[in-house]
């Protein structure tokens, strides 16, 4: 298949491109300099390439910054998705949109399934839900909701990812305070990329899927596991989100139930974390 990857320089996009290298598919990696999803004319490159599948990982996903600049959030996450989906529909391509656990309000404790009604609490989540709705207008579409990503490339604009932030703080000998009342499903981008591509290759039914590593934890529990695996002694204390003021409201429980894709090889999050730490050379 001919597969275009938008956001190819990003954390998830770069792993999708790398996973594709080991397959017989032809990959067109599109970095931000190659395509601006918010600009319809720029998206015309997709018409020239005529891929059979377009994977759109581009996003403005700094959650607090989205509150300050909702226009940009909608330009990139919603109008960008619309531009890509419309071109995909026109060239008969499958449109793949990467969405987020933040489309949910976090009141359900036992893990959201795909059929649960979204109810985003912040501008980022609202703009991504709008992106999902535009993507659904393309007859062949997949929406993969991911969460709390960690990948070798690190997220642009976020200065890496949570795992790297924790390791850097520990190395500086800082006191580390992490919220213990917000729960999510940490997800390794390499494993997500492998399973996403398997799902597309197998031609599973079009629609929405939760693409996360198995299980869930609080951000504090996630940090503790990082330090346990690395054998690091750190001054780590749990705090409540009330003590850690942030601009955007965040869902308290955004755990995603990955049952629909688990059989394609989604690992439990602790295993995925250990694999990441080995990949980065922190563990042998």
Ligand X SMILES: NC(=O)c1ccc[n+]([C@@H]2O[C@H](COP(=O)([O-])OP(=O)(O)OC[C@H]3O[C@@H](n4cnc5c(N)ncnc54)[C@H](OP(=O)(O)O)[C@@H]3O)[C@@H](O)[C@H]2O)c1
Query: Within 162-191, which residues bind ligand X (CB under 6 A)?
Result: none
Cβ–Cβ < 8 Å for 185, 258: yes
Size of the site for ligand X (CB under 6 A): 29
**Residue 107-146 contact track with ligand X, rule CB under 6 A, x = bound:** ---------------------x-----------------x
Q: 142 vs 237, which CB is nearer to ligand X?
A: 142
Using the contact rule CB under 6 A, the part of the chain among 19-27, 54-62, 208-216, 260-268 near ligand X is 54-62
Query: Within 32-51, which residues bind ligand X (CB under 6 A)?
Result: 32, 35-38
Check residue 257 for interaction with ligand X (CB under 6 A).
Answer: no
Smallest separation (angstroms) from ligand X to the CB of 114: 15
* Three-state helix/strand/coil letters over the chain: CEEEEECCCCHHHHHHHHHHHCCCCEEEEECCCCCCCCCCCHHHHHHHHCCCEEEECCCCCCHHHHHHCHHHHHHHHHHHHHHHHHHHHHHCCEEEEEEEHHHCCCCCCCCECCCCCCCCCCHHHHHHHHHHHHHCCCCCEEEEEECCEECCCCECCCCECHHHHHHHHHHCCCCEEEECCCEECCEEHHHHHHHHHHHHHHCCCCEEEECCCECCEEHHHHHHHHHHHHCCCCCEEEECHHHCCCCCCCCCECCECCHHHHCCCCCEHHHHHHHHHHHCCCCC
Smallest separation (angstroms) from ligand X to the CB of 212: 9
Query: Within 60-79, which residues bind ligand X (CB under 6 A)?
Result: 60-61, 76
Q: Which of 83, 100, 122, 127 binds ligand X (CB under 6 A)?
A: 100
Check residue 80 for interaction with ligand X (CB under 6 A).
Answer: yes
Task: Based on the residue annotation, tell me whether 124 is a catalytic residue of this protein.
Answer: yes
Active-site residue, selected from the candidate residues 102, 124, 134, 253: 124
Smallest separation (angstroms) from ligand X to the CB of 192: 9
Q: Which of 3, 4, 5, 12 binds ligand X (CB under 6 A)?
A: 12
Within 10 Å of residue 17's Cβ, how many Cβ atoms? 23
Check residue 9 for interaction with ligand X (CB under 6 A).
Answer: yes
Q: Which of 26, 64, 92, 157 binds ligand X (CB under 6 A)?
A: 157
Check residue 226 for interaction with ligand X (CB under 6 A).
Answer: no
Question: Which sequence positions are flagged as catalytic?
Answer: 124
Summarize as ranges the residues that interact with ligand X (CB under 6 A): 6-7, 9-13, 32, 35-38, 57-61, 76, 80, 98, 100, 128, 146-149, 155-157
């Amino acid at each position: 298949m001919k597969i275009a990857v938008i956001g190819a320089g990003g954390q998830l996009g770069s792993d999708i491109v790398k996973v594709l290298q080991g397959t017989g598919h032809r990959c067109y990696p599109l970095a931000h300099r190659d395509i601006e999803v918010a600009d319809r004319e720029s998206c015309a490159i997709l018409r020239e390439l005529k891929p059979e599948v377009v994977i759109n990982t581009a996003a403005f996903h700094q959650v607090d910054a989205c509150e300050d600049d909702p226009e940009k959030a909608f330009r990139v996450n919603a109008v960008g998705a619309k531009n890509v989906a419309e071109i995909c529909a026109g060239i008969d391509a499958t449109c793949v949109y990467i969405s987020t656990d933040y489309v949910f309000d976090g009141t359900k404790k036992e893990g959201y399934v795909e059929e649960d009604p979204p109810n985003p609490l912040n501008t980022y989540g609202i703009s991504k839900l709008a992106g999902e709705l535009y993507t659904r207008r393309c007859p062949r579409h997949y929406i993969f909701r991911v969460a709390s990503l960690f990948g070798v490339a690190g997220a642009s604009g976020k200065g890496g990812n949570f795992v790297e932030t924790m390791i850097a703080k520990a190395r500086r000998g800082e006191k580390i305070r992490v919220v213990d009342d917000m729960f999510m499903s940490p997800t390794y981008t390499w494993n997500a990329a492998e399973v996403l591509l398997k799902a597309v290759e197998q031609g599973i039914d079009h629609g929405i899927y939760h693409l996360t590593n198995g299980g869930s934890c609080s951000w504090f529990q996630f940090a503790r596991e990082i330090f346990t695996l690395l054998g690091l002694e750190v001054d780590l204390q749990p705090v409540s989100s009330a003590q850690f003021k942030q601009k955007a409201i965040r869902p308290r429980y955004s755990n995603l139930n990955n049952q629909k894709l688990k059989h394609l090889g989604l690992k439990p999050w602790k295993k995925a974390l250990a694999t990441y730490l080995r990949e980065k050379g922190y563990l042998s």
